[in-house]
């Protein structure tokens, strides 16, 4: 398939999946997510900075501090995208391995580190060979969180740590109202003007994929993780799950 035809296929596959109010699941979600990120990769960094007013950089730094691993630790940057977290890890003397389902994202990865194209639910690493796992805004895009957490538990060494950064919705009534207007109206408008409108209409809806905090922590506990924690950033518009393998 030619490059132009592949791009057309990618565009049509996720636009078809996200055109209705019903979010896709299973294989349909996997195909749609991969093709969507292939399509928006060229301007992904720019949109992140604009849409979060640069706060995403601060959230990533806090996530890395929460990971709390010593120098030279091997860390999977899960759904690494263009490599923001991997770049921070290299600056902090960690050894990142970028893993992403989207080849388009990997082609735009700026981290100059080892990269692997893989589904997070089937990681190509030996059991108990990794010191840490970190991700940025990926949880709601995974097709099966149970399988992803199983894989995290498998590849992490005992006492290995994880830090999973994700978007959130404020609890405060007025903040929640303002956040809803921004996330559901302004974000799609800016995203559509600078990148792809369908993708940035999907992103606000994708919060529906996330289990509530207590359920998420319960799932992680059942997967063999302990010392679990959850913190909110910026009045509740972002959140971080953290913990370690027993």
What is the domain partition of the chain in residue ranges? 1-246
Burial of 34 (0-12, 13-18, 19+ CB in 10 A): buried
- Find the length of the chain: 246
pLDDT at res. 20: 67
Query: Which pLDDT score, from 0 to 100, does residue 135 have?
Result: 98
Q: What pLDDT score was predicted for residue 5?
A: 42
DSSP 241: E
C-alpha count within 13 angstroms, C-beta hemisphere, residue 79:
22
Distance separating alpha carbons of residues 78 and 156, to the nearest angstrom: 13
Question: Which residues is 117 bridged to in the sheet?
Answer: 100
User: At the topology level of CATH, where does 1-246 sit?
Assistant: Rossmann fold (3.40.50)
Per-residue tens of pLDDT for the chain, all 246 residues: 444 444 444 545 677 777 766 789 999 899 999 999 999 999 999 999 999 999 999 999 999 999 999 999 999 999 999 999 999 999 999 999 999 999 999 999 999 999 999 999 999 999 999 999 999 999 999 999 999 999 999 999 999 999 999 999 999 999 999 999 999 999 999 999 999 888 998 888 899 999 999 999 999 999 999 999 999 999 999 999 999 999
pLDDT of residue 12: 57
Long-range CB contact pairs, 13-17, < 8 A, 24+ = 14/39, 14/198, 14/199, 14/202, 15/198
């Amino acid at each position: 398939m030619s490059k132009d035809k592949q791009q057309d296929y990618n565009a049509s596959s996720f636009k078809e999946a996200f055109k209705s109010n019903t979010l896709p699941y299973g294989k349909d979600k996997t195909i749609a997510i991969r093709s969507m990120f292939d399509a928006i990769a060229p301007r992904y960094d720019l949109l992140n900075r604009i849409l979060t007013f640069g706060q995403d950089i601060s959230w990533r730094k806090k996530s890395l501090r929460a990971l709390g691993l010593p120098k030279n630790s091997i860390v999977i940057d899960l759904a690494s995208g263009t490599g923001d977290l991997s770049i921070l890890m290299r600056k902090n003397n960690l050894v990142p391995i970028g893993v992403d389902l989207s080849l388009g994202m990997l082609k735009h990865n700026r981290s100059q580190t080892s990269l692997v194209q893989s589904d997070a639910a089937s990681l190509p690493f030996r059991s108990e060979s990794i010191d840490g796992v970190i991700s940025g805004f990926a949880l709601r895009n995974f097709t099966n969180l149970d399988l992803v957490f199983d894989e995290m538990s498998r590849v992490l060494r005992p006492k290995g740590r994880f830090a999973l950064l994700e978007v959130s919705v404020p609890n405060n009534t007025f903040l929640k109202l303002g956040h809803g207007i921004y996330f559901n109206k302004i974000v799609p408008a800016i995203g559509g003007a600078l990148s792809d409108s369908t993708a940035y209409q999907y992103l606000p809806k994708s919060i529906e994929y996330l289990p509530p905090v207590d359920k998420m922590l319960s799932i992680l506990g059942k997967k063999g993780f302990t010392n679990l924690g959850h913190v909110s950033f910026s009045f509740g518009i972002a959140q971080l799950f953290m913990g370690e393998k027993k």
